[in-house]
Amino acid sequence: MALFTGYAKTLSLSAWLFRILFPSPPVLPRMTYHLHYWPTIQGRGEFVRLALEEAGAPYVDVARGDPDDGGGEAALMADIGAHDHPSFAPPYLVDGDRVIGQTANILLHLGLRHGLAPRAEAGRLWVNQLQLTIADLVAEAHDVHHPVGMGLYYEDQKDEAARRAKEFRAQRIGKYLGWYETVLEKAPKGGWLTGEDLTYADLSLFQAVEGLAYAFPHAMKRLAPKIERVIAVRDAVAKRPNIAAYLKSDRRIAFSTEGIFRRYPELDPA
């Protein structure tokens, strides 16, 4: 018994000494992430960029790099199939010997690594659900301007896009963002989707709201009074020091009619 007490004392003494030497958990040096995504658009890659930027994680945005340094779109095209776990489409992230595709899956990985998600399984699943619902919204936002075919130009499907946009504006945006408003209303105090702690789902909600406000400014203005908590998350994310610095930097690509969220005035009448 005395032996165990002595052992426990030594343990607590060394834990105490450890805390003095390392007041916060030691951050282990890690390899630079390689993000592979199209170089000229925010697209789905932006959800990953935001998480990396918030975490202050070192990363190379491969296709945006200089071809002389192994970057450029050709590097992405050459790399994507060259893995045992090839990704179907960008974005994908290379973290050491791991190659991870699907935006929500990448964020699941980064969330755990960088404290951008709860550690407990139930919390992690909930944040993943919040993210997968953003993915559904993103897919629908894309299909508004491409309702008939991915391989066709918008100009070849304008009539169908106008029909799709009408429903998206009138029902779908409100249904999605209204659901996040309800999630925030039910969340423990703190203002984030899970309460007190920011997660990558909050960053993604920011990006979704920004994208929708760019593409559908009139519809979003009408909806704003009904989604005050969602707008507050948008504002709070924009003010986070790392995110604010990123948004001002040339690493943040501007929204455009090449990306997922596109502003075609005819799809969002005043």
Ligand X SMILES: N[C@@H](CCC(=O)N[C@@H](CS)C(=O)NCC(=O)O)C(=O)O
Which residues sit at the interface with ligand X, rule CB under 6 A? 43-44, 89-91, 102-103, 135
Cβ of residue 89: shortest distance to ligand X, in angstroms? 4
HEC string of 114-155? CCCCCCCHHHHHHHHHHHHHHHHHHHHHHHHHCCCCCCCCHH
Closer to ligand X by CB, 131 or 227: give it: 131
Closer to ligand X by CB, 140 or 197: give it: 140
Closer to ligand X by CB, 227 or 259: give it: 259
At 99, give phi and psi (nearest 5°): -120, 115
Closer to ligand X by CB, 57 or 135: give it: 135
Cβ of residue 45: shortest distance to ligand X, in angstroms? 7
Closer to ligand X by CB, 96 or 149: give it: 149
Residues 6+ apart with CB under 8 A from 226: 174, 178, 181
At 159, give phi and psi (nearest 5°): -65, -45
Cβ of residue 150: shortest distance to ligand X, in angstroms? 7
Cβ of residue 126: shortest distance to ligand X, in angstroms? 19
Provide the terminal-to-terminal Cα distance of the chain, rounded to the nearest Å: 79
- Would you tell me how many other CB atoms lie within 10 Å of the CB of residue 71? 17
Closer to ligand X by CB, 214 or 236: give it: 214
Which two three-digit tokens encode residue 95? Answer: 């973290």
Whose tokens are 């779109």? That residue is: 73
- Could you write out the DSSP letters of every residue in 25-88? PPPPP-PPEEEE--SS--TTHHHHHHHHHHHT--EEEGGGS-GGGT-SHHHHHHHHTSSSS--S
b/e map of 25-55 (b: 16 or more CB within 10 Å)?
eeeeeeeebbbbbbbebbbbbbbbbbbbbbb
Cβ of residue 231: shortest distance to ligand X, in angstroms? 25
Cβ of residue 135: shortest distance to ligand X, in angstroms? 5
Closer to ligand X by CB, 72 or 195: give it: 72
Rounded distance between C-alpha atoms, residue 76 and residue 58, angstroms: 19
Cβ of residue 243: shortest distance to ligand X, in angstroms? 21
Q: How far is CA 145 from CA 40, 90, 261, in A?
A: 18, 20, 9
